[in-house]
Amino acid sequence: MRLFLAALAVLLLAAPAARAEDTLNPPHWQSEGVFGSYDKAALQRGFLVYQTVCAACHSMNELHYRDLTDLGLSTAQAAAIASTVKLSTGPATLDDIFKAPAVNASAFGGALPPDMSTLVAARPGGTRYVYNLLTSYQNAPADVTLLPSHYYNTAYPGLQIAMPPPLKDNAVTYADGTKATTAQEAADAAAFLTWAANPDLDDSKEIGLRAVLFLVFLTIIAIATKRKIWRESL
């Protein structure tokens, strides 16, 4: 397992690395806002966090390994990452769906870990909600009795969550040298999950900008044409 993770980290090292920007004070993501696009370096770091920590319990049933080329990796790198994953039929290939973990149906008291493919889009608050959830584990206050196998989390509706705190400092080693604090890991994981739910965001905004500018131009000349035509008759 360690060998596999080390191999994964090395593979991501080979990918083009961007300088790690300070995404934590205050927490913000490059993809937020009307013109924001995904920070590919953050997505790659987030994928590492997902593979190392989250993939043990959470499935990602709508993603294929070939989708990793969206993160700035080449096809060969994505294929290499896929081949480090052991499926029941052998090593994974680019066309395989992300490996679904085998989670016992009675684990977590019946609160099975949800699939994360559309999680960020399905939860109110989206990216920020995921970040807050991952960083808001606290000791329960004195007047709260925790349900068995539950943990106190101020960001979770109902305040008691069945997921144990998944992140800790240096749970992963980032290839581009970013310090792997819990908050950093949470921010990168949130970025990766945002991409997983909306892989077409960059295309959408890029095409959208061109479409809106084109339509504004067309509106202006359409109004001018209409006025010219009407002026002729009166």
Binding positions for another protein, rule: CB under 8 A: 34, 61-64, 66-67, 75-76, 79-80, 83, 90-91, 93-95, 114-115, 117-118, 121-124, 197, 199-200, 203-205, 207-209, 211-212, 214-219, 221-226, 228-233
For 70-91, the DSSP string reads GGT--HHHHHHHHHTSEETTEE
Q: Collapsing DSSP states into helix, strand and coil, what is residue 193?
A: helix
Cα separation, 149 vs 141, whole angstroms: 16
User: Based on CB atoms, which residue is closest to another protein, 91 or 177?
Assistant: 91
Tokens at residue 55, please? 């993939």
For the bound state, the minimum distance from the C-beta of residue 158 to another protein, rounded and expressed in Å, comes to 11
Contact 198, 121 (CB under 8 A): yes
User: Based on CB atoms, which residue is closest to another protein, 21 or 206?
Assistant: 206
Cα separation, 193 vs 35, whole angstroms: 19
User: Based on CB atoms, which residue is closest to another protein, 140 or 201?
Assistant: 201
For the bound state, the minimum distance from the C-beta of residue 35 to another protein, rounded and expressed in Å, comes to 10
For the bound state, the minimum distance from the C-beta of residue 81 to another protein, rounded and expressed in Å, comes to 11
User: Based on CB atoms, which residue is closest to another protein, 46 or 137?
Assistant: 46
Query: Which element (helix H / strand E) includes 5?
Result: helix 2-14
Cα separation, 138 vs 99, whole angstroms: 31
For the bound state, the minimum distance from the C-beta of residue 185 to another protein, rounded and expressed in Å, comes to 25
Cα separation, 1 vs 177, whole angstroms: 22
User: Based on CB atoms, which residue is closest to another protein, 146 or 212?
Assistant: 212
Contact 177, 20 (CB under 8 A): yes
For the bound state, the minimum distance from the C-beta of residue 20 to another protein, rounded and expressed in Å, comes to 28
